[in-house]
Amino acid sequence: MQTTTPAPTLPTGRPALAVDVVMRREPVIGPMARWQTWRWVLADVLPVGEPVDVPVHAPPPVAAAPQEVQPLPGALAVDGARYWLYPGLRVTLYRDDAEGLYLNLHSPQPCFWVFWRADEERPLDGEPMAVPQIATLSYHDAGRWLDAQEKVDQVPAPPEVVDWLRTFVDGHHQPEVKRRQRPESFKPLADRFGQPVRISTTKFQRGPGPQGGGHGG
């Protein structure tokens, strides 16, 4: 009787971790206070529960309304600061972004990045309130947001999150193959202005006398 090898089980979802984001509104001190009274900064990213596999086509989580909270134990003490917790965000690990996750993992301090915006329609004491949009562990995500001049802050990731990230990177990251450097002799010639130089193998012939217009020699 012929036995068949069962087909490998393919992943049905993406690894994801539910997180709450804590933002701090603190008074601006110094000369900048003349133009800006308050500023928002990322205070912390708090993992909620254990990582799970989320279906590929699952809708994004619905963010709940923020709530003011007391400073977390060990939080930076800032006089006059107030803290808001934003529940309902999700950090997802994507296989096609394993390189961005690898760069974060092997940085001096692996961290969470949070992309947030100021909501004009949700004022606090007459000023826009910060609203986190996306949380990520990808170095590439953070770089794209910064290139677009978005508001991006970071905080260190806890050890258990770093271990989770390492397990994923070890299983999916493929080092880029270094291309063989092209020899110098194959580089195209260029003039002093960077324009390509044309090389002709046809022997230059001087025209007959001054009327020929030639400049050879």
Q: Mean pLDDT, consecutive 10-residue segments, the chain of 217 residues? A: 49 87 89 78 95 87 85 78 94 95 96 93 81 96 95 96 97 73 50 48 48 46
Q: How far from chain centre, in Å, is Cα 102?
A: 12
Q: Residue 188's pLDDT is what? A: 52
Looking at the domain assignment, is residue 193 inside a domain? no
Q: Residue 119's pLDDT is what? A: 87
User: Residue 73 is part of which domain span?
Assistant: 13-172
Domain count for the chain: 1
d(CA 103, CA 59): 27
Looking at the domain assignment, is residue 183 inside a domain? no
Looking at the domain assignment, is residue 215 inside a domain? no
Structure confidence by residue, pLDDT tens digits, 77-97: 788 899 999 999 999 999 999
Q: How many CB atoms lie within 10 A of CB 106?
A: 12
Q: Residue 214's pLDDT is what? A: 46
Looking at the domain assignment, is residue 152 inside a domain? yes
d(CA 169, CA 105): 8
Looking at the domain assignment, is residue 89 inside a domain? yes
Looking at the domain assignment, is residue 85 inside a domain? yes
Residues 155 and 137 sit within 8 Å (Cβ to Cβ): no
Kindly report whether the global pTM for this prediction surpasses the value 0.75: no
Element (DSSP H or E) covering residue 10: none
Q: Residue 199's pLDDT is what? A: 45
Looking at the domain assignment, is residue 78 inside a domain? yes
Q: Residue 9's pLDDT is what? A: 44
Looking at the domain assignment, is residue 139 inside a domain? yes
